[in-house]
């Protein structure tokens, strides 16, 4: 059963079906958020090994915009941002073949994969967004 599961997951990775899309956090990554005050929140977007770091940041900003509108605000200030990578170790798959009295073993797989992450802290406001660095009009970001 384990071999079937590993083969299925491997084939999905190879075909690119598990590339992180814009979605709530799940098996292949996605966003999560937490209100930290009446008008403040933290948004985290986790990508997988097939997701570009620039897409992860873009998705985090999109979720921040959606959350801003959902909470009844018009724009947000990006107060803090952290872009980082989580490295995951891949399991080795050692296979041995015996022919007569000789045994040969080979290690297939192993290594590591990089999974980009972006965490942002926002403060939400009502009204028109100032034309200054760090302020984002939520409805404009959602429409893009």
Q: Kindly list the strands in the beta sheet with 75-89, ordered across the sheet, starting from the edge strand earlier in the chain.
A: 30-35, 40-46, 112-125, 75-89, 135-137
Question: 10 Å Cβ neighbour count for 117?
Answer: 19
Distances in whole angstroms, Cα of residue 23 to Cα of each of 28, 33, 63, 70: 9, 12, 9, 16
Report how far residue 46's alpha carbon sits from residue 32's, in angstroms, rounded to the nearest whole number: 9
The pTM score is 0.74
Q: Which of 65, 72, 52, 67 is nearest to 118 (CA)?
A: 52
Give backbone dihedrals phi and psi of 65, rounded to 5 degrees, phi first: -65, -45
Distances in whole angstroms, Cα of residue 110 to Cα of each of 91, 92, 107: 5, 4, 8
Report how far residue 42's alpha carbon sits from residue 60's, in angstroms, rounded to the nearest whole number: 10
Taking only the tens of pLDDT, the chain with its 144 residues reads 454 444 445 544 444 556 788 888 988 889 999 999 999 999 999 999 899 999 999 999 999 999 999 999 999 999 999 998 888 777 777 778 888 888 787 777 677 888 999 999 999 999 999 999 999 999 999 998
SS3 assignment, position 46: strand
> How high is the pLDDT of residue 17?
55
> How high is the pLDDT of residue 79?
97
Distances in whole angstroms, Cα of residue 127 to Cα of each of 32, 98, 138: 26, 74, 11
Report how far residue 10's alpha carbon sits from residue 6's, in angstroms, rounded to the nearest whole number: 6
> How high is the pLDDT of residue 5?
45
């Amino acid at each position: 059963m384990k071999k079937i599961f590993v083969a299925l997951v491997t084939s999905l990775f190879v075909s690119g079906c598990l590339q992180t899309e814009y979605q709530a956090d799940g098996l292949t990554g996605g966003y999560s958020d937490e209100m930290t005050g009446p008008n403040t929140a933290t948004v985290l977007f986790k990508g997988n090994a097939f997701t570009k770091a620039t897409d992860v940041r873009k998705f985090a900003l999109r979720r921040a915009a959606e959350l801003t509108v959902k909470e009844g605000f018009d724009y947000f200030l990006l107060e803090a941002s952290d872009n980082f990578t989580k490295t995951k170790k891949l399991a080795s798959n050692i296979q041995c073949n015996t022919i007569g009295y000789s045994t040969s073993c080979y290690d297939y797989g192993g290594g590591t994969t990089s999974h980009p992450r972006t965490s942002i802290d926002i403060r939400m406001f009502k009204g028109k967004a100032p034309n200054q660095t760090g302020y984002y009009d939520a409805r404009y970001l959602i429409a893009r």
